[in-house]
Structure 1
Amino acid sequence: MSTLSGLVKAGAVGALGQLEDVFLHTRRSISYIVPQVTIQEHHRDEVALTDHPIDSGAPVTDHAFSRPSELLMTIGWSDAASFFDVGGSSNNAEDAYPALLELMNQRSPLGVVTGKRTYDNMVIVSLDTVTDAKTNSTLVIEVGMRQVIIVETATTTLAPVTQQQEPEKTAESVDQGMKQPVQPKESGLYQVGGFLEGLL
């Protein structure tokens, strides 16, 4: 009896979540995956400051930069909610978890739509879910994501050594083979010290 009651509640929760998405036009999604219900969204944005300690006074800050955005979504599916499926969700509880695992294992940037904002270049870094007797026919999963900041790089070709002003500093490294250690020469002061020590 308790299992049937749990299924009915899960179906009602899934249906309410889908109705909310339809009527409020807030279609949450992680790439192509659309959850039946969104329970919680935790957004985190942070700016880091560089600190340099000095002899006296407070640390000196000379630069600030944005850290990658982080997003934690708690979302859910229910097989029982298919009886009330009005939201057009393309996934059920059985299919959603493997699909999320596949996205995480791909480790590729993806788009995420939430109720607050739209993210680009997000990578799934964690999936956390628990299944017990009450949630056997449902999936409530916590999805952790982090933004990947993509930058552009370029390669260049060095000028010939004959055209470099200081080739010993700017020329490409050259493999010169094995080098044997060389005994350093004794300084004049060291030699005088040794001579005086011999007299004593």
Structure 2
Amino acid sequence: MDNSPILDLSAPEIKDLVYTKTNIGGWFFDAYLKMDHTSRLTITDHPVQTGAAITDHAFLQPRELSMDVAMSDVNESTVPGQFSGGYSRSVQAFYVLKELQQLRVPIQVHTRLGLYPNMLIEVLTAPDDYTTFEGMRCSVTFREILVAQVTTVQISARPEVTDNSRRGNPEPVTPNQSILKQMSGLLLGN
């Protein structure tokens, strides 16, 4: 398998796992140490002359998900062939996360608490010291991108005819004069 993070999610060895086990875009890491699920509602408020501010609207912000994932160089992959072809499984796993981030293509993240479609990797943080020499621990922060649905609606069966309408003959009009100008004209005899 090459170093590309493109996966065939309909492949027999992945298809049954994608919607049942925690994964990031079809990639199965050795451990998911911690997950923070954030859903935020923004409530608008506007001050009024007397009393407290009034609320007239509320909307959901894009969801956020933070995961601490871990990889070991001594384990075998859940899916045969994942994270192979590099220096080690842990280094290859970090390269996959970096490439998923650089592609800027929405991915699907499945967790025990829910399915998150349309997620982008916003932040990757991976400390590298003597404790991670034969493994990797990485914090991955995702943010949902909201996708608008566009629909074209036909309003009338008749085509617009404004370009074909008669406009008539325009005639010059004298501009309105102010009352002061009119009065000064009367006083001066104009």
Q: Distance in 2 between matches of 1:86 and 1:35?
A: 8
TM-score by length of 2: 0.65
- SS of 2:148's equivalent? coil
Alignment equivalent of 2:121, drawn from 111, 120, 124:
124
- Alignment RMSD: 2.9
Matching residue's letter, 1:66: L
Q: Deviations over 1:63-113 (max 9, x none)?
A: 11111110000001010x32xx37446232021111111111111111001
Partner of 1:69: 63
- SS of 1:51's equivalent? coil
Q: Deviations over 1:29-71 (max 9, x none)?
A: 1102111001000000011111111111111111111111100
Partner of 2:131: 134
**1:190, distance to aligned residue in structure 2 (A):** 10
**Unpaired stretches in structure 1, ≥5 consecutive residues:** 1-24, 168-186, 192-200
**Unpaired stretches in structure 2, ≥5 consecutive residues:** 1-18, 84-88, 163-176, 182-190
Matching residue's letter, 1:75: V
Partner of 2:28: 34
| Greater share of residues in helix | 1
Alignment equivalent of 2:41, drawn from 47, 57, 65:
47
Contact (CA 8 Å) 2:71, 2:90: kept in 1 or not?
A: yes
Matching residue's letter, 1:43: H
Q: Distance in 1 between matches of 2:117 and 2:21?
A: 16
Matching residue's letter, 1:132: D
**1:189, distance to aligned residue in structure 2 (A):** 10
Task: Give the ranges of 4+ consecutive aligned residues of structure 1 lying more than 4 Å apart after TM superposition.
Answer: 154-157, 159-162, 187-191
1:1-200 alignment to 2 at 5 Å?
A: 27-79=21-73, 81-82=74-75, 85=76, 87-88=78-79, 90-91=82-83, 92-153=89-150
Matching residue's letter, 2:98: L
- SS of 2:102's equivalent? helix
The share of aligned pairs that are identical, in percent, is: 28
**1:155, distance to aligned residue in structure 2 (A):** 6.8
- SS of 1:99's equivalent? helix
Contact (CA 8 Å) 2:28, 2:78: kept in 1 or not?
A: no
Partner of 2:15: none
- SS of 1:134's equivalent? helix
- SS of 2:28's equivalent? coil
Q: Distance in 2 between matches of 1:127 and 1:134?
A: 18
Matching residue's letter, 2:122: V
Matching residue's letter, 1:144: T
